[in-house]
Structure 1
């Protein structure tokens, strides 16, 4: 295969951590697992990027009829489906005996920005940025570009695919080849009780988690991922809300088309906060921007705690049920939703609604940096509470009844 040199942005470390070889034998289990690990990173890389743009759209105190609400909801539905895709990819890994191979709370796994999109050639650099038509058209739509046979005649680097569609097609072929070679025994290491099966958060998107136990269920999981966005056939103007059990009339737009509605102005953006592009913690100096520094630290800690809780959920069997006690897996899944929606999103919304110091002519709001934060080995919950109490000096609304602080006190200490 002809190769090219990567010259732009940062190549994600997962390329070296879990290398893939498009020319390798389809029956190679390690290569299939590495493909799925990179697929998980690929799905994960969209979540902070889309959330950042979504949060930049002013909705606090807005009427549901205000401009921007439609665009906000469209992006939110895409984020929900990307989270579904992430859980389906991890379920496939668990089914193939790879449960211990992935940790979400891992500096090498968590995306940073700017960085290169995996398996896209020519290069596409991903950014955290306020929602604009230019960002949506130039980055988001390009990320969700429908299946293409080949995007360019240009040589590509070793270990890369030209498109996500090509990448996922290879994953499907490898699943089928390995299942055939082993006569179905490749699934013997499956631990279904550790898979994610209940989408308590999936109220704004299509599809649902499913247990992967054989080739058919793995192909069903792939069908959901591909049809909703990554690698969809460009001739399909819509996709079923339930890709596995389609009902006539119950359709939705694929991710590319949803973003196109924003880029074309069909869904107006309304007021968008002036957030920085690709912010880093160092941009919010403790002396120069104490409020932004404090709330961004809290956000990153809560973000990493959310990733850590996902890991704990995947290490907790839903079969474990002590007599007379609540199922621990169920409790973790429910409190995870409260952490994500009530803590993480609320802290981010509070942050983007504040102001950075600077000239009046350069008014800018701080945006969350989605960076890795090293939580203590013990006392993670207490650490978050302490950070929240410190941040309340600048943002007292984080305290009180039904507040971020109130919710943190109700979180499990994991």
Structure 2
């Protein structure tokens, strides 16, 4: 299996090799697994967002008992962002936070690509929110137990993402026992992401990781929200770490199952390409300008996340505003106000954003984004004006 996948493996797997046939018993091995866990979480976000943006009739089920496919996917994306944050908090707690970069051509996922460490291989796509895409890709990604018709995976490979996380959990327990307090000696808790606003459609919350129990709580949140507690369990707690009676939600697998089976309506879909790339839009100057702006803003959002994890919330001087808090709020604003608006503007063409890495300049990133926006406004003037994309870009921190 390893030989079959090595040529299609994403760059993060090649640049941070691990030996999946052996248990995790050294800190570098654990850090490499967590780095790739971050990639696994990141690879879901563009994929799920692309499907959500492809839904033309967002209010399709507003008069029905269900919440509809669009809102279900939105709740999943919010939780995947939380999972990405929790994995990075784990890396910070283990002293490796500064060495991880999300805004990196080797980290930001490309499509189509093979899911990491998954047996049998699963090819991930940017595609419309069709029942086939949801059933064959999304549900397979979040599958809580192996398909009984599949052959057993080779030693060290995993049939589900939950098995991959359980290997990480075993490694954490083993190293905490052998290293004790030394395992957490490099932690910088003031760099972790713990106090940001999270959308009400998603459950859980950021956790401060500082010891084995808090690390296991972070993994518990990731696994339970994605796959569920156990196969056959219909719901999971909204707060997996501190569950409260009556406050439950569906795990990701079951949410996608409801969409695939038509319980939650999809409605009408935009005519999006599968796995689009920037070159596909080369014949349309306006669409090229808009997609370039989207990719640049998407890359800047990933860069902002890196800056947040390298900015201490303790570095606050009397009379000054909290720059870390400003970064966190700006990050949410960029996600919801800029990226979503740009994607919806593209969807009206109709065309799907390509979610590709964009090389921003070393200096003047904000000015460069504004320049790209001004160019796109030639074709899409609605990007300007009060409370617009152009207005929001001018308020972003230039980091």
Which category describes the TM-score, using the shorter chain as reference length? over 0.9
- From the superposition, tell whether residues 151 and 392 of structure 1 become closer, same or farther in structure 2 (CA, over 3 Å): same
Q: 2:140 matched to which residue of 1?
A: 142
- From the superposition, tell whether residues 311 and 150 of structure 1 become closer, same or farther in structure 2 (CA, over 3 Å): farther
Q: Secondary structure of the residue that 2:46 maps to in structure 1? A: helix
* CA apart distance, 1:165: 1.9
Q: 2:253 matched to which residue of 1?
A: 256
Q: 1:178 matched to which residue of 2?
A: 175
* CA apart distance, 1:25: 4.8
* CA apart distance, 1:179: 0.5
Of the structure 1 ranges 297-306 and 139-148, higher mean CA displacement relative to structure 2 is found in 139-148
Q: Does 1:404 align with 2:396?
A: no
Q: 2:220 matched to which residue of 1?
A: 223
Aligned pairs, number: 399
**Corresponding residue to 2:121 among 107, 120, 123:** 123
Q: 1:362 matched to which residue of 2?
A: none
Q: Secondary structure of the residue that 2:221 maps to in structure 1? A: helix
5+ residue gaps, structure 2, are: none
Query: Would you say the 8 A contact 1:4–1:155 is kept in 2?
Result: no
- From the superposition, tell whether residues 96 and 151 of structure 1 become closer, same or farther in structure 2 (CA, over 3 Å): farther
Q: 2:328 matched to which residue of 1?
A: 333
Structure 1 segment 2-401 matched on structure 2, within 5 A = 3=1, 5-6=3-4, 10-59=8-57, 64-65=62-63, 70-148=68-146, 152-153=150-151, 156=154, 160-230=157-227, 232-285=229-282, 288-354=283-349, 365-401=350-386
- From the superposition, tell whether residues 319 and 150 of structure 1 become closer, same or farther in structure 2 (CA, over 3 Å): farther
- Matches of 2:26 and 2:307 in 1, distance apart? 29
* CA apart distance, 1:232: 4.5
- From the superposition, tell whether residues 187 and 4 of structure 1 become closer, same or farther in structure 2 (CA, over 3 Å): closer
Q: Secondary structure of the residue that 1:266 maps to in structure 2? A: coil
* CA apart distance, 1:20: 1.6
Q: 1:413 matched to which residue of 2?
A: 398
* CA apart distance, 1:27: 2.5
- Matches of 2:193 and 2:28 in 1, distance apart? 22
- From the superposition, tell whether residues 401 and 4 of structure 1 become closer, same or farther in structure 2 (CA, over 3 Å): closer
- Matches of 1:240 and 1:178 in 2, distance apart? 29
* CA apart distance, 1:15: 1.3
Q: Secondary structure of the residue that 1:218 maps to in structure 2? A: helix
Per the normalisation by structure 2, the TM-score is: 0.95
5+ residue gaps, structure 1, are: 355-364
- Matches of 1:263 and 1:60 in 2, distance apart? 17
- From the superposition, tell whether residues 230 and 136 of structure 1 become closer, same or farther in structure 2 (CA, over 3 Å): same
Query: Would you say the 8 A contact 1:136–1:259 is kept in 2?
Result: yes
Give the CA RMSD over aligned residues: 2.1
Once the two structures are superposed, residues 7-63 of structure 1 have per-residue CA deviations (whole angstroms, 9 ceiling, x without a partner) of 698321111111121343532100000010000000000000000000111247889
Once the two structures are superposed, residues 283-331 of structure 1 have per-residue CA deviations (whole angstroms, 9 ceiling, x without a partner) of 011xx21111110000000000000000010110011111111111001
- Matches of 1:324 and 1:330 in 2, distance apart? 15
* CA apart distance, 1:148: 3.5
- Matches of 2:60 and 2:159 in 1, distance apart? 42
Q: Secondary structure of the residue that 2:295 maps to in structure 1? A: helix
Of the structure 1 ranges 12-21 and 251-260, higher mean CA displacement relative to structure 2 is found in 12-21
- Matches of 2:79 and 2:138 in 1, distance apart? 15
Of the structure 1 ranges 58-67 and 20-29, higher mean CA displacement relative to structure 2 is found in 58-67
Query: Would you say the 8 A contact 1:292–1:351 is kept in 2?
Result: yes
Q: 1:357 matched to which residue of 2?
A: none
Query: Would you say the 8 A contact 1:43–1:82 is kept in 2?
Result: yes
* CA apart distance, 1:6: 2.0
Query: Would you say the 8 A contact 1:150–1:163 is kept in 2?
Result: no
